């Protein structure tokens, strides 16, 4: 368990710089994961501060609890989707907070657990649920959506150029039997690609897997709902940090910050998204697609 718990948080130094955690502050880590960012934040807000950690994945929450057990008096962990951030703060009886962090997408804990079905390289069931109590899985989508629906899903949420070919290949293959594992789906996607496009910098099935994961977990709608709540939750001078891993997430974060700025309630702290440097990329290749945007409440 310890090995899975000690995953590397991306853009850690940059998050600490923009979030500016200092003693006595109240910070929300709305996507706790394994607690990598949270551990360093809580070190800096003690004494007198409070870290509120949210995650819809009970397994991630359990591992984060182990990682943060030395700071129990300064930590509150909540098993909820980050879209419920406003409700969570009200339930805890907390007013405005000093900072909010969103580290979007899939955590390394989820990606490395083959039984969760998020990864391409490890064979597992086609699951992809962040909240394992919900019913809808990637297997349901792959085996029940029409070719047109699959095509639209892979195009819109995966931004995959060959969405029609892949959807057609999936539908053809499932006529021979249910598609049940990540390895089966990955191979189907590869076979659906033009030959010259099958092997690139990333695995050919990456965008299709992304599309299914986003749909299963309702991720984009949740991001918009959560970010819309941020101005009401931050104190004047409070900071927001958003880490995204693909253009759909980053676009929402960018547009939301621009909206807050146009309303005269925020200033944008990052003119361009902040990305990982060479040193971090050598330590943690998963940081290669990460982008950080930050803002501060001004009114």
> Is pLDDT at 202 greater than 70 in this prediction?
yes
Output the pLDDT for position 198: 54
| Closest by CA position to 59, among listed 86, 77, 83 | 77
- For 259, residues 6+ apart whose C-beta sits below 8 A from its C-beta are none
Give the pair of three-digit tokens for residue 29: 């880590």
Quick: pLDDT tens for 65-115. Answer: 999 999 999 999 999 999 999 999 999 999 899 999 999 977 777 777 888
pLDDT for the residue 100: 98
Q: Burial, 275: exposed, middle or buried (Cβ in 10 Å; 0-12, 13-18, 19+)?
A: middle
What band does 246 get if pLDDT is binned at 50, 70 and 90? very high
Question: Could you tell me the sign of the dihedral formed by the alpha carbons of 82, 86, 87, 93, in that order?
Answer: positive
User: Which domains, ranges and CATH numbers included, belong to the chain?
Assistant: 2-109+219-297 (3.40.50.150), 118-217 (1.10.150.170)
Tell whether the model's pLDDT for residue 296 goes beyond 90: yes
Name the β-bridge partners of 296: 239, 267
Give percent of the chain above pLDDT 90.
82
Q: Answer yes or no: is pLDDT of 5 > 50.
A: no
- Name the pairing type of β-strands 291-297 and 266-268: antiparallel
Integer Rg of the chain from CA: 20
At 197 the pLDDT is 61
């Amino acid at each position: 368990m310890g090995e899975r718990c000690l995953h590397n948080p991306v853009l850690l130094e940059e998050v600490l710089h923009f979030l500016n955690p200092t003693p006595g502050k109240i910070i929300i880590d709305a996507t706790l994961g394994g607690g990598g960012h949270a551990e360093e934040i809580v070190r800096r807000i003690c004494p007198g501060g409070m870290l509120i950690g949210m995650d819809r994945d009970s397994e991630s929450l359990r591992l984060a609890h182990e990682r943060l057990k030395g700071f129990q008096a300064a930590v509150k962990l909540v098993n909820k989707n980050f879209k419920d951030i406003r409700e969570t703060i009200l339930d805890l009886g907390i007013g405005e907070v000093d900072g909010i962090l969103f580290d979007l997408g899939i955590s390394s804990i989820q990606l490395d657990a083959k039984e969760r079905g998020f990864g391409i390289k490890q064979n597992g069931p086609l699951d992809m649920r962040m909240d394992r109590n919900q019913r809808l899985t990637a297997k349901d989508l792959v085996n029940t959506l029409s070719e047109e629906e699959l095509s639209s899903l892979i195009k819109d949420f995966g931004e995959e150029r060959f969405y029609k070919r892949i959807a057609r290949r999936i539908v053809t293959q499932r006529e021979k039997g249910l598609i049940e594992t990540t390895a089966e789906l990955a191979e189907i996607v590869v076979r659906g690609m033009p030959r010259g496009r099958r092997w690139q910098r990333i695995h050919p099935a990456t965008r299709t897997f992304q599309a299914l994961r986003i749909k299963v977990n309702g991720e984009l709608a949740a991001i918009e709902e959560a970010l819309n709540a941020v101005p009401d939750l931050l104190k004047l001078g409070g900071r927001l940090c958003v880490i995204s891993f693909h253009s759909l997430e980053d676009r929402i974060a960018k547009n939301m910050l621009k909206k807050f700025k146009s309303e005269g309630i925020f200033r944008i702290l990052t003119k361009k998204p902040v990305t990982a440097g060479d040193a971090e990329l050598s330590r943690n290749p998963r940081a290669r697609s990460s982008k950080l945007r930050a803002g501060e409440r001004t009114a």
